Structure 1
Amino acid sequence: MTEERPAGVHRVETVTAADGIPLALHQWVPENPEAAVFYVHGLQSHAGWLFETGPELARRRIAVYAPDRRGSGASGGPRGHLDSAATTLDDYAAAFAAVRAAHPGGPPITAVGQSFGGSLLAALLTTGRIAPDGVVLCAPALGQQQARHGRDGVHRMRALHGLRTSPVTLKDEDYTGEQRYLSFMANDHAMLRQVTDGFRAVMAELELLYTEGAPWNTDRPPVPVHFARPERDAVINLDAARATLARMCPHAVDAHFDADRHYLEFSPVRDQFWDWLADVAAGAGGAAAATPLPAQPVRQAAPGAVGPGGRR
């Protein structure tokens, strides 16, 4: 990890996964940050999509750390592929531990999960692999596979395996209506347009971890949880996502943004979203915290294992 840098400077360092795969950890770190954000990106995106969010939050004195998921962005591994839920979660646990180590006794860290990153984050929390000081789920893909395919369909998806690819059928226009962002996406060769059967199996397994696991603990020190959403979203069934979150965390707080596309950072309300996120991150771990979460130490789980709070 690097020392703190002036706001707006984008640096990428490498965290080596347990199996030797290099994982890119993007960072925008101002001097003397008030707080930090650990950002888990979505299915098609990668940390490079934070080319505005990173500098804007750093300008607001919030450090931003965003790992590229294996098989995505600048990280290693076959493109659009995940081997297992356990390996994927351990990757993020290692990156989160590196961020904690960069700020010993330092500012609070808020974990942000955007879209599929929200599903990943929910599984990380359910299994106790990370213990952030705050949580933001932004248009999160919570319970989406079950909403589309039913529980039996998700279990069938979990049985998929291998490197056979199939297209991601989302439209770029579902993410944003602004031409400059559409042009960026059209020319972004790192944007995932196909994923493997193995990836789809891991999507299903991650969802089953938190939908079939225990609710997030309620006897721990309080940690604020926020559900940030556009008013309309062609990618996410927001009602299903909110209902899934309510079962895991009944006291999560909603934040509505006047947008009609999926990706708030590429919408006309992006400045409002950055202001709000900076305020939430700066307040994490303070008196305003309202919702308890697990607070177990970060650790590496054995292959196939699930940490405390999870279910098989």
Structure 2
Amino acid sequence: MKLLRYGPVGQEQPGLLDKDGRVRSLAGIVDDIAGQALSPESLARIAALDESTLPLVDGTPQDDLRLGACVGNIGKFICIGLNYADHAAESGAAVPPEPVVFNKWTSAVVGPDDDVQIPRGSKKTDWEVELGVVIGTGGSYIEEADAMRHVAGFCVVNDVSEREFQIERSGTWDKGKGCDTFGPTGPWLVTPDEVGDFNNLAMWLDVDGKRYQNGSSSTMVYKVPFLVSYLSRFMSLQPGDVISTGTPPGVGMGQKPQVFLKGGEVMRLGIEKLGEQRQKVLPAA
């Protein structure tokens, strides 16, 4: 299944994408694509529906029908750094002996095609296409062998990052990662049965039509089951938490010379089987 949220900002409604690429309403079946609606029991109930009987929503998704972030009321937006061997190499960093963990503040979350705003004082705003993992069943001290039972699905994340804030301004990475609009998420949450081999998904990102990132989840160092298990040692994972699992090479910081967003650009990015995003970049207000 491909689950989604559609409608104006702050008024998003739950829906699914049918086999013809049209949006069907899930209003009255779940309150939102969030929390307990992501449990295995809830997903099984939605999967059992005859989608042709669900109300058809006017408009074309990602055209004249806005999509919000594919998960509502995200509790924790957990990110993993330097998790692709080839990205670590372009960053001049060694593969870390344990996953690098940081946060995006949930106020950064926007829809997959919403504008990205350059923050005031930014010198080095960058892009990162990432595989997002959505938790459906919570837990602590999850065994790696059981980890996928806790995953509701996967999505595309653009881990927009301000590198000067992140690296050069002292302290943790978080302040360069969580600026408003720095977390486009979606277009849809795709359940694992429809994704298949999540360890071998093509990933790409263009800026103004130039391809910068062209990688694969196959070069991920710490794989999804390990990450779910690892993170659950340090915090309880809860339904609706999102884990953004790192990026392949091709970020602006890794270019020679480096390339950063200034405003006026258009980013397009996608992951095989998970859909595409498109964001206009607005200059600092």
TM-score when scaled to structure 2? 0.25
Say which structure is richer in strand: 2
Say which structure is richer in helix: 1
Answer 1 or 2: higher relative contact order, Cα 8 Å, separation at least 6: 2
